[in-house]
Amino acid sequence: MSRYYVTTPIYYVNDKPHIGHAYTSLATDVLARWKRLEGREVFFLTGTDEHGQKVEKAARDAGMEPQAFTDQVSQHFRDLAERMGFSNDDFIRTTEERHKRACQALWEELARRDEIYLGHYEGWYAVRDEAFYGPDELTERDGVKYAPSGAPVEWVREPSYFFRLSKWRDWLLRFFEENPDFIAPQGRRNEVMSFVRSGLQDLSISRTSFSWGVPVPGDPAHVMYVWLDALTNYITAAGYPDEPDPRWGFWPADVHFVGKDIVRFHAIYWPAFLQAAGIAPPKRVFAHGWWTIEGQKMSKSLGNAIDPLALVEEFGLDPLRYFLLREVPFGNDGDFSRRALVNRLNGELADGLGNLAQRTLTLIQRNCGGELPREAERTEADRALLDGLDALPAAVGKALDAQLFHTALETVFQSVRDANGYITQQQPWALKKTDQARMAAALRHLHTALRAYAIVLQPFMPDTMGRLLDQLGVPAGEGRSLAALAAPLPGGAALPPPEPLFRKIDTAALAAAT
């Protein structure tokens, strides 16, 4: 069985999770679930990034020791993963001993290969970003200099170990050219290549100005730069340095999902660190966009960050999962609004798929004795619907391999619209009086369509599609895999009475509340 390794970024524990964190993990979860449906052996990793000056400061501001602070905030991210139904196989924390050991092993390997040297660093540093910036990247307002991210910077001078990043410039450019799908989407790839072409400076990879971090082997006055520490998590979880660990067979990772603000670290520093240590780089880094909230950027000062768990309570888990990946092409920025979510829920989910399922299964209960009709010959109209179903898994899989989640969903819901057109055209409720065999055939074909939709939509809406598959009489386990679609269900099976799949939202009440 072929293996597939997919990761979220590990989330920085200086604040509680918001909708942006849920978005990244959701995309990772959907891809992991799809690969399992394909029959792949999947390793899905998420976790928390718990070291660095910013965390140390946040803990101090909260009146807590850093470890107690990170224990508390990391739990919020575990809770988010559980409540959002994420199927991660591991949750890593950078304060774990296994991770500290992996970081120090990687450092020692880089040092052994003469990729690290001791010097001193001075430059413009943003505490919020845990990053240094060149003078040409800065802007100035009211006497304060700012990084491209908007974070204020300060001039810092301190002893530091350096990684010989500059020597890897040509290799990186060659690697990008030979692996055109390594960075996606295309706009992020262009930005990264432009940055590398402009030249790379050796990278400061240790700090002495604070102590909350992984100690540098042989020089405990230094702690590792938070990004060297954080990026290593992906190989820690895969068993490094304990080769041959059973999980090491998952490396290199198939996809790292990241926000567009950290693509440079993942697409430049990370492959360079790995190549320098003699470890294969990951296969792909996908940088998604950011969400604004009702037209405004999410920020602490505006107090408009949305708690995804509150949205789950308000609208339901699966409608939220569906909306986040349906509304905006993954990789683009998007605006979150409750009205848009309600429009998707009431329209595509309730009126589209939910109504199709309710009508079909109710007609089977009333007109077929509650039993699944047997397979029947196909008319031209039947073939038009069913031939499209045969192509559905491959089309959805192709879109997901390119991280085009919205395209995958549009492909499915175009077929749902076709099926709604089919039931309107065939009118099985009228055929009971004129042609019962034809009525049964039409209902059987609609059941076949619903089975296909439910199976391919499981990664997006696992709970709701599980309930639909129950109502369709589809056996659990292998019976709900993509491979199972090749074999028709035997006719004559008793089906349970249908129940509504989605709860529509009163738009008038929503408008009054907002």
Contacts (Cβ under 8 Å, ≥6 apart) of 35: 4, 6, 42
What is the per-residue DSSP string for 187-209?
HHHHHHHHHHHT----EE-EESS
Q: Which of 91, 191, 83 is nearest to 137 (CA)?
A: 191
Instruction: Decide if 248 contacts 241 (C-beta within 8 A).
Output: no
Report whether 190 contacts 293 (CB < 8 A). no
Show Cβ contacts of residue 419 under 8 Å, excluding neighbours closer than 6 positions.
Answer: 356, 385, 446, 449, 450, 453
Tokens 């079909």 -> residue: 360
Q: What is the pLDDT of residue 507?
A: 79
Contact between 175 and 217 under an 8 Å Cβ cutoff? The reply is no
User: Contact 46/257 with Cβ under 8 angstroms?
Assistant: no
Estimate the crossing angle of helix 308-315 against helix 317-326, to 10 degrees. Answer: 120
Listed in sequence order, the DSSP H helices in 6-120 are 19-37, 53-61, 66-83, 97-112
pLDDT at position 462 is 98
Residue 311: HSE in the Cβ half-sphere, 13 Å Cα cutoff: 26
What residues contact 461, with CB distance under 8 A and at least 6 apart?
A: 318, 319, 321, 322
472-496 pLDDT tens trace: 999 999 999 999 999 999 999 999 9
Which stretches of the chain drop beneath a pLDDT of 50?
Answer: none
Which fold would CATH assign to domain 337-486? Answer: Isoleucyl-tRNA Synthetase; Domain 1 (1.10.730)
Spatial distance between the Cα atoms of 87 and 35, rounded to a whole number of angstroms:
12
pLDDT at 102: 98
Spatial contact of 28 and 46, defined as CB atoms under 8 Å apart: yes
Q: Return the pLDDT at 380.
A: 93
DSSP string of 276-298, one letter each residue: HTT-PPPS-EEEE--EEETTEE-
Q: Do 350 and 504 contact (CB within 8 A), yes or no?
A: yes
What's the number of CA atoms in the CB half-sphere (13 Å) around residue 177? 9
Query: What's the chain's length in residues?
Result: 514
Tell me how far apart the alpha carbons of residues 346 and 343 are, in angstroms, rounded to a whole number. Answer: 5
Contact status, residue 73 vs residue 14, Cβ threshold 8 Å? yes
Which pLDDT belongs to residue 511? Answer: 64
**Predicted local distance difference test score (pLDDT) of residue 180:** 98
> Residue 245: what pLDDT?
83
- The answer, as to whether pTM is greater than 0.85, is yes
Which strand ranges, in their side-by-side order, compose the sheet holding 291-293?
296-297, 291-293, 334-336
Look at strands 154-163 and 203-204 and give their pairing: antiparallel
Q: Give the pLDDT confidence score for residue 299 in this predicted structure.
A: 61
Residues with Cβ within 8 Å of 360's Cβ and at least 6 positions away in sequence, in order, are: 423, 443, 446, 447, 450
For 61-90, how does the pLDDT look when each residue is reduced to its tens digit (9 = 90+)? Answer: 999 999 999 999 999 999 999 999 999 999
